[in-house]
Amino acid sequence: FSPPFCPFIHSSIIPPSCLFSGVSIIACEITKTAPFLADALNVLLIIVDDLRPSLGCYGDKLVRSPNIDQLASHSILFQNAFAQQAVCAPSRVSFLTGRRPDTTHLYDFNSYWRVHAGNFSTVPQYFKENGYVTMSVGKVFHPGISSNHSDDSPYSWSFPPYHPSSEKYENTKTCRGQDGELHANLLCPVDVADVPEGTLPDKQSTEEAIRLLEKMKTSSSPFFLAVGYHKPHIPFRYPKEFQKLYPLENITLAPDPKVPDGLPPVAYNPWMDIRQREDVQALNISVPYGPIPVDFQQKIRQSYFASVSYLDAQVGLLLSALDDLHLANSTIIAFTSDHGWALGEHGEWAKYSNFDVTTRVPLMFYVPGRTASLPQAGEKLFPYRDPFDSNSALMDPGRRAVYPVELVSLFPTLAGLAGLQVPPRCPIPSFHVKLCREGQNLLKHFQLSDVEEDPHFSGNPRESIAYSQYPRPADSPQWNSDKPNLKDIKIMGYSIRTIDYRYTVWVGFNPDEFLANFSDIHAGELYFVDSDPLQDHNLYNGSQHGEIPQSLRP
Ligand SMILES: *[C@@H]1O[C@H](CO)[C@@H](O)[C@H](O)[C@H]1NC(C)=O
Ligand SMILES: *[C@@H]1O[C@H](CO)[C@@H](O)[C@H](O)[C@H]1NC(C)=O
Ligand SMILES: *[C@@H]1O[C@H](CO)[C@@H](O)[C@H](O)[C@H]1NC(C)=O
Ligand SMILES: *[C@@H]1O[C@H](CO)[C@@H](O)[C@H](O)[C@H]1NC(C)=O
Ligand SMILES: *[C@@H]1O[C@H](CO)[C@@H](O)[C@H](O)[C@H]1NC(C)=O
C-alpha cells in the first residue's frame, strides 16, 4: 500500500493502513501541499504558561483537572516531554520556530531571531503560507523585543494578535491582603466582580477564542488558532472559589524541600521573581537559599494548584464550544506548556533550571478519527466538566507515549498531522535556512502505543534523547542567575534526558561567539530515573571529565 497522497487529507475516515503501516505514514509526511486544502484539518494549539504536568492525566492525585484529563482521554499523551530551555521567551521562540536555543541565539528576552540569528519560519507562518487563517489569542509569543513587539506580525498571523485588556492589572495592587488593603502579592485569590474590568485575562482569552471559532465555522479556509493562557504563571491571581478545592490541611510540601547536598551551586537558581511580591517580601527570606516558612510553602502550592484548576475550567469552556460548533471532527488539538515550575523541590520556587520539574511539560495531541473515533452526530467529545463536581468520574487515560520527546518537535509534528509537508531536517549550521526542523516528526508515536514491546515502533527508547540547556552568569548563585542577559552568560548547562537518566554538564560559554567550550567543565550532574526520580542525589563524579558523550551537544 503506497498511496500517492496521504489518504488522511482526502477523507475524514482514515484507512487503517495509514494508521498502522510505516509505509503509508511516510507517504503522509511527504505529500500534501496548498492546493489540497478542501478537507484540511484545523488546528487549535493551546499553550499554557509555566504549567508542569501536575494534572490528573499525568497521575497527580490531588489536582483537579477534569477538562484537560478529558482531552487526554481522546489524545495521545507524551509522558516524558521536555522544553529546550526553562524560561518563557527562549522556549517559545524555540518551539514556535522548531529550532533550538543554540540556533535562535535567544537565551534571554532581548533579541528578535529574524534579525539576530536567521529569518526562520514559525509554525503559524508555515500554516498561513499553506492557506490557513492563523490567529493568536493571549500569550503565544512572549511579548516584547523577542517577537519584535508584535507577536511576530505580520509573518505569523493573518490578523493582529489579541491580548486581553485586563492583562495590564496582573502585576498591580489588586490582591486583598489580611490588612484589608490591596497589594501586589504572589498569592492573589480574587473576587472577580471586584477586580478592575470585572474579569481576568484568561477568561477574556477564552471568550475571544470562542468568538473566533464561531467566525471560522463558516470560513472556506482551514484555521490555525493558537490560544495562550497566562495561569498558572505568577502572580497566582485567580477566582477565589478555586482555593476551596485545596484545603490547606490537605496540602503537603514538596517531597524534597531542601537544597540537595551534592548539588553544584551553578545548578541552583535563587528564584528572585517571587521575592519581589509584597507578601513574599514581608517574609524577609534569606537570599539565595531561603527557605520559605513551611506554612507559606503550603500556600504557594495551594494557589498554584487552584490556578491550574481555574485554567482547566477555561480549557473546558473552550473545548466544549469547539464541540458545540461541530468542529471537534475537523480540528487537531495540541496542548502544551512552555516549561514547568518548581514548587519547592530542591528548595526552589521558579523555572530557570535543568531539573525535570522545570523542563518537563504536558504534551498531548487529539487528532479526529485518529487518536479517538470521530464523534457521531449529536455526540459530544468535550462536554464541560465542572472541577467542583467531585463525582466527575476518572477518565479513561487515553494513549500514552513514554519515550522522551522534545517540545522543539511540535512544529514538524503539527505539520505532519495536518498533512503539510514536514520541513526537512536542518543542516548544521542552518542560520541561512528559513524552513527546516531540528526536532522530529512525532507521527511514529501515533501508531499503537509505543510500549517497549511494540513491534511496530521502530525507535529504540535508549536512543531517544531530549536536550535542554540553561545559562548562568557565574559558578555560584547571583542576583541574575535566574535570567542572565546574553552578555553576562559565562556558563551553559547542557542536559541530556533519556528514559533512564539525566546527565548535565555546566561548561564555559562565550556569548559573543555563541560558543560552548566542552573542555572547560565547571560542574556536572547525573541522576538515574529509577533510583532517584526527584533528582536529589547527584552521582556525577569529577573523574568522568573528558568522557562527555558526543551526543551531549544537540
Ligand atoms: C524574512 O522572511 C519573511 C517571510 O518568510 C520575508 O517576508 C522577509 O522578507 C524576510 N526578510 C529578510 C530580511 O529576508
Ligand atoms: C520589527 O518591527 C518594526 C516596527 O514595526 C519594523 O519596522 C521592522 O521591519 C520589524 N522587523 C522585521 C524583521 O520585520
Ligand atoms: C482532604 O483530605 C481528607 C483526608 O484525607 C479527605 O477526606 C478530603 O476529601 C480531602 N479534601 C479534599 C477537598 O480533597
Ligand atoms: C522583616 O524585617 C523587617 C525590617 O527589618 C521587620 O520589621 C519585620 O518584622 C521582619 N519580618 C519578619 C516576618 O521577620
Ligand atoms: C462534522 O460534523 C458536522 C455535524 O455533525 C458535519 O456537518 C460535518 O460534515 C462533519 N465534518 C467532517 C469533516 O466530518
Question: How is 259-279 classified by DSSP, letter by letter?
Answer: PPTT--GGG----HHHHTSHH
Our answer on whether the CB atom of 250 is closer than 6 Å to any ligand 3 atom is yes
Q: Whose CA is nearest to atom 10 of ligand 3?
A: 250
Which pLDDT does position 260 carry in this prediction? 97
- What's the grid cell of residue 93? 521562540
Distance (angstroms) between ligand 4 centre and the Cα of 283 equals: 7
- 281 in Cβ contact with 272 (< 8 Å): no
Ligand 2, atom nearest to 149 Cα: 2
- 504 in a domain, yes or no? yes
- What's the grid cell of residue 320? 466544549
| CATH, residue 183 | 3.40.720.10
Our answer on whether the CB atom of 23 is closer than 6 Å to any ligand 4 atom is no
Which pLDDT does position 543 carry in this prediction? 56
Whether residue 424 has a cis bond before it, omega within 30° of 0: no
Amino acid (one-letter) located at 69: D
Distance (angstroms) between ligand 1 centre and the Cα of 119 equals: 6
Output the DSSP codes for 289-313: T-PPPHHHHHHHHHHHHHHHHHHHH
Total domains in the chain come to: 1
Which pLDDT does position 86 carry in this prediction? 98
- What's the grid cell of residue 451? 510500549
Which pLDDT does position 445 carry in this prediction? 80
Q: What is the mean pLDDT of each run of 10 residues along the chain (554 residues)?
A: 28 30 31 53 98 96 96 96 98 98 98 98 98 98 98 98 97 92 97 97 98 95 98 98 97 98 97 97 97 98 98 98 97 98 98 98 96 90 94 77 95 97 96 97 71 46 86 98 98 96 97 97 97 97 58 53
- CA–CA separation, 96 and 89 (whole Å): 10
- CA–CA separation, 224 and 227 (whole Å): 10
- 426 in Cβ contact with 11 (< 8 Å): no
Ligand 1, atom nearest to 114 Cα: 1
Domain that holds residue 481: 16-552
Note the maximum CA span of the chain: 72
Pick from 275, 301, 299: nearest CA to 178 = 299
- 500 in Cβ contact with 462 (< 8 Å): yes
- 172 in a domain, yes or no? yes
Our answer on whether the CB atom of 284 is closer than 6 Å to any ligand 4 atom is yes
In Å, how far are 5, 42, 132, 166, 362 from 11, measured between CA atoms? 11, 14, 18, 43, 30
Strand partners, 83: none
Our answer on whether the CB atom of 154 is closer than 6 Å to any ligand 2 atom is no
Which pLDDT does position 541 carry in this prediction? 82
Distance (angstroms) between ligand 3 centre and the Cα of 250 equals: 6
Distance (angstroms) between ligand 5 centre and the Cα of 329 equals: 6
Q: Whose CA is nearest to atom 12 of ligand 1?
A: 119
Ligand 1, atom nearest to 119 Cα: 1
Ligand 4, atom nearest to 283 Cα: 13
Report, as residue numbers or ranges, the catalytic residues. Answer: 88, 142
- Describe the crossing of helices 88-97 and 410-418 by its angle, rounded to 10 degrees: 40
- 11 in a domain, yes or no? no
Distance (angstroms) between ligand 4 centre and the Cα of 282 equals: 7
- 8 in a domain, yes or no? no
- 32 in a domain, yes or no? yes
- 354 in Cβ contact with 495 (< 8 Å): yes
Which residues line the pocket of ligand 5, CB cutoff 6 A? 12, 326, 329-330, 377
Distance (angstroms) between ligand 2 centre and the Cα of 116 equals: 13
Ligand 1, atom nearest to 129 Cα: 5
- Describe the crossing of helices 294-324 and 201-216 by its angle, rounded to 10 degrees: 20
- 524 in a domain, yes or no? yes
- 9 in a domain, yes or no? no
- 2 in a domain, yes or no? no
